[in-house]
Structure 1
Amino acid sequence: MTDGGAPSGGTGARQPRQIVLRPTAPIVPAANIAGRSLMFVISIMSFLASLTLGAVILVQDTANTWQSDISREVTIQIKPQDGLDMQQALETARRIAIGFEGATDATIVNDEETSRLLEPWLGEGLDLDELPVPRLVIVTIDEGAPPDFQAMRTALTQALPNVYLDDHRTWVNRLVAMANTTTLIGICILMLVFAATVLTVIFATRGALSGNHHIVEVLHFVGAEAGFVASHFQRHFFIIALKGATAGGIAAAIIFASAGVWANNNFATPQSDQTNALFGGFSVGPGGYVGIVAIVIIIAFLTALTTRITVMKTIREIDLIRSNPGHVL
């Protein structure tokens, strides 16, 4: 005779019931249209910020190169004149310049080099004897102990007609002012991009909170700390921002790398010579790519911080409404 509580044919021992745990859904949906839109916007912001940083680096490097080259050289210009033996005048100017202490070398820019300098504007096959083109002597100076430019200018003027000594001081001052202004503008643009990113993240976070308001309120009501809820939103938007910022940074890096390849492939042409003189080699260097990585990291962490602050502020508003139902925010 068997016990009515025990199954017939069994051992008489009750088998433990297996508990199946269902996976919990995230507070914030992993992927939605709003998230993809935010990722796209952040990628644009990262792209613009990286381009701005790269442009500032290019301008600064080019300005430093110009300033270094200009500070090492002065230029003697001799304008053509009827009856003037230009070659002899150039030799005389070179001899006078090299005679001053502090002038280490002097080079006459020959006809071929002068034609090459004018080729982008006047074309090929120039006859310099038929054009009133000033001829140049480049004087290399000792940066630590430069010569007396006023004495050199006086000696040249007494020996030659239509001669002009340019020590490039005006250009150096303008160059420094331009570089500083460009840097300031670049910093302002970066700040605007970061500010726009913060505002975009605030709106996106509030939108996500609005769509999941009942979940957030219930979790907080049953005892979930504000930091716990904020960490879920923070992690969600951090991943979105990191993906978007990385995409924008990679796009900017590809553009700079492509520009550098183009500059190298078009080297030693009149167009590339002028472009390199104005903008350098279009190479941002290792520092530029490190800066792009830094922008990606800054945007990602700025997004996470903004999201956390926004969620914490919203939960405090919920607590304020619950403690004072009549309060209007």
Structure 2
Amino acid sequence: MTEPLATEDHYGRAAERVPRKSAPIMPPQNVAGSALILVIAIMTFLSCLTLGAVTLVRDTASTWQTQIAREATIQIKPADGLDMEAALSSAQRIASGFAGVRSASIVGQDATLRLLEPWLGTGFNLEELPVPRLVIVTIDPVAPPDFAALRAALAEAVPQASLDDHRTWVDRLIAMANTTVTIGVSVLILMLSATTLAIVFATRGAMAGNGHIIEVLHFVGAEAGFIARQFRRHFLLTGMKGALAGGLAATIVFVGFSWWSSRNMATPQADQATALFGNFSIGAAGYGGVILVVVLVAALTAATSHLTVVSFLSELDGTQHDG
């Protein structure tokens, strides 16, 4: 707010009132404020990266789980006197007859050779090796077949056949995804806690530098709410600057990884990375989480500074009454 300043000329007459601006309690910029913006930006950046990584792992695990749940594998081990092609056809026919099975396809010799090439090379005879043959069963994830009955039917018709519904892999995958998400959320909470502590110390430091002004304002009748609002406004602006910088940096990282993944889709490195982490796209939910973290950090900065100032003034009043 401004206060008019009255002046007089050399004849003693009142001159025009000149408005005088009151100085803010908190300096608009200082070294401590710039350092706090940098700290908040770093914390926000790391928090957004953690949230994006958790989102990426969760989405990838969900995709893996869906893909695994849609397929089962019938493995037929070679044995003396076993007609492998007849056994494969029998297993395919039995699996196709069960409700909940969409299709059953035999993995041919050429496809089996391609699967073994990375380990055995080329130019070998598949019939001379005790290599199991496979039947891929595509199932309905909404209404899966009765796997126990299917195993019993396969064991009766083809004793060398075994059914793998990948349930063990799905359970391990769910456990791994849940553990990763829990760790990520814990790290995110630690980041926000560290940000809160940094704000508390920065507010205490700012109050120590302006303590005499705060005490004078408080003793002449300025309410605690007025003083706290000044600090809250200052630190809200500081928190918004740091949080926006950190959130923007994290968004650039996510967009860069997504662009790299799309540009190198056909390379072996990108294929391996895509198989593990998807296409490095966190989606709308991930970017919404980044915005939420930015807003949360800015609000946390303002709320923490407000509570710290109110607590300081309460201690000041208690000291005054004791004295």
**One fold, TM greater than 0.5?**
yes
The worse-fitting range, judged by mean Cα deviation, of 60-69 and 292-301 is 60-69
Is it true that 1:196 corresponds to 2:197 in the alignment?
Answer: no
The worse-fitting range, judged by mean Cα deviation, of 167-176 and 193-202 is 167-176
Any conservation in 2 of the 1:111–1:128 contact (CA below 8 Å)?
Answer: no
The worse-fitting range, judged by mean Cα deviation, of 100-109 and 222-231 is 100-109
Secondary structure of 2:144 counterpart: coil
* Equivalent residue, structure 2, for 1:261: 259
What CA distance in whole angstroms lies between the structure 1 residues aligned with 2:64 and 2:28? 51
Q: Could you say if the C-alpha distance between residues 73 and 313 of structure 1 is closer, same or farther in structure 2, counting changes exceeding 3 Å?
A: same
Is it true that 1:211 corresponds to 2:190 in the alignment?
Answer: no
The worse-fitting range, judged by mean Cα deviation, of 149-158 and 230-239 is 149-158
Question: Structure 1, residues 1-27: CA drift from partner, whole Å, max 9, x if none?
Answer: xxxxxx9xxxxx986402223322221
Secondary structure of 2:221 counterpart: coil
TM-superposed CA distance for 1:123, in Å, is 9.5
TM-superposed CA distance for 1:215, in Å, is 0.8
What CA distance in whole angstroms lies between the structure 1 residues aligned with 2:108 and 2:116? 13
Alignment of 1:82-93 (within 5 A): 89-93=87-91
TM-superposed CA distance for 1:275, in Å, is 2.7
Secondary structure of 1:21 counterpart: strand
TM-superposed CA distance for 1:296, in Å, is 0.3
* Equivalent residue, structure 2, for 1:18: 16
The worse-fitting range, judged by mean Cα deviation, of 146-155 and 56-65 is 146-155
One-letter amino acid of the structure 1 residue matched with residue 104 of structure 2: A
One-letter amino acid of the structure 2 residue matched with residue 322 of structure 1: Q
Any conservation in 2 of the 1:97–1:103 contact (CA below 8 Å)?
Answer: yes
Q: Could you say if the C-alpha distance between residues 164 and 126 of structure 1 is closer, same or farther in structure 2, counting changes exceeding 3 Å?
A: farther
What CA distance in whole angstroms lies between the structure 1 residues aligned with 2:17 and 2:203? 36
What CA distance in whole angstroms lies between the structure 2 residues aligned with 1:294 and 1:240? 17
Secondary structure of 1:139 counterpart: strand
Alignment of 1:106-255 (within 5 A): 106-110=104-108, 122=119, 129=126, 134-160=132-158, 162-255=160-253
- Structure 2-normalised TM-score? 0.86
TM-superposed CA distance for 1:216, in Å, is 0.7
* Equivalent residue, structure 2, for 1:33: 31
TM-superposed CA distance for 1:255, in Å, is 1.5
* Equivalent residue, structure 1, for 2:64: 66
**Cα RMSD between the aligned structures?**
2.8
Question: Structure 1, residues 208-246: CA drift from partner, whole Å, max 9, x if none?
Answer: 000111111111111111111111111111111111111
TM-superposed CA distance for 1:261, in Å, is 1.6
How many aligned residue pairs are there? 313
* Equivalent residue, structure 1, for 2:3: none
Paired residue for 1:292, among 286, 290, 293? Answer: 290
One-letter amino acid of the structure 2 residue matched with residue 311 of structure 1: V
What CA distance in whole angstroms lies between the structure 2 residues aligned with 1:111 and 1:266? 31
Secondary structure of 1:146 counterpart: coil
Question: Structure 1, residues 5-55: CA drift from partner, whole Å, max 9, x if none?
Answer: xx9xxxxx9864022233222211111111111111111111111111111
Paired residue for 1:311, among 309, 312, 317? Answer: 309
The worse-fitting range, judged by mean Cα deviation, of 38-47 and 86-95 is 86-95
What CA distance in whole angstroms lies between the structure 2 residues aligned with 1:195 and 1:126? 61
* Equivalent residue, structure 2, for 1:4: none
What CA distance in whole angstroms lies between the structure 2 residues aligned with 1:251 and 1:149? 49
What CA distance in whole angstroms lies between the structure 2 residues aligned with 1:117 and 1:266? 24
- Structure 1-normalised TM-score? 0.84
What CA distance in whole angstroms lies between the structure 1 residues aligned with 2:159 and 2:273? 34
* Equivalent residue, structure 1, for 2:95: 97
Question: Structure 1, residues 116-145: CA drift from partner, whole Å, max 9, x if none?
Answer: 6667x6498685737765443221112343
TM-superposed CA distance for 1:187, in Å, is 1.8
Q: Could you say if the C-alpha distance between residues 132 and 242 of structure 1 is closer, same or farther in structure 2, counting changes exceeding 3 Å?
A: farther
What CA distance in whole angstroms lies between the structure 2 residues aligned with 1:217 and 1:242? 28
* Equivalent residue, structure 1, for 2:274: 276
What CA distance in whole angstroms lies between the structure 1 residues aligned with 2:38 and 2:212? 28
One-letter amino acid of the structure 2 residue matched with residue 168 of structure 1: H
Q: Could you say if the C-alpha distance between residues 146 and 210 of structure 1 is closer, same or farther in structure 2, counting changes exceeding 3 Å?
A: same
